[in-house]
Amino acid sequence: ETEGVESAEVSFEDKTAAVQVAANGPEATELAAMLNDKGFKVEVLSEGAPQSEASAQPSQEIMLGISEGMKCGGCASRAQRLLAETEGVESAEVSFEDKTAAVQ
């Protein structure tokens, strides 16, 4: 487990990833580059504004599109694990069907 990661979730059907990133976490382009280096074809779909929380530091949601490299549920799980293990990532959800990743 990597510092700053709270949770990760995968959806094989959507081929997407949603990741929750801490205020001092990685940039969307860094996450996409990391997955591209691991054999996925990833693009940044959206990068939300930081969200304030009463008892925590602000966080931001990043949505990534994964067009190649996810041929099965195991591939989606691997992408989600790689995102979740990245320092500064609070949560990650990968959807195989939509070919996206949402990161916070």
Token pair, residue 56, equals 């925590």
Q: What is the pLDDT of residues 53-62, one digit of tens each?
A: 444 557 788 8
Show the DSSP H helices in the chain as ranges: 28-37, 73-84
Tell me what pLDDT residue 37 has: 93
Q: Determine which helix (DSSP H) or strand (DSSP E) holds 102, and give its type and residue range.
A: strand 100-103
Mean pLDDT of 27-50: 83
Distance CA 99, CA 23 (A): 25
pTM above 0.85, yes or no: no
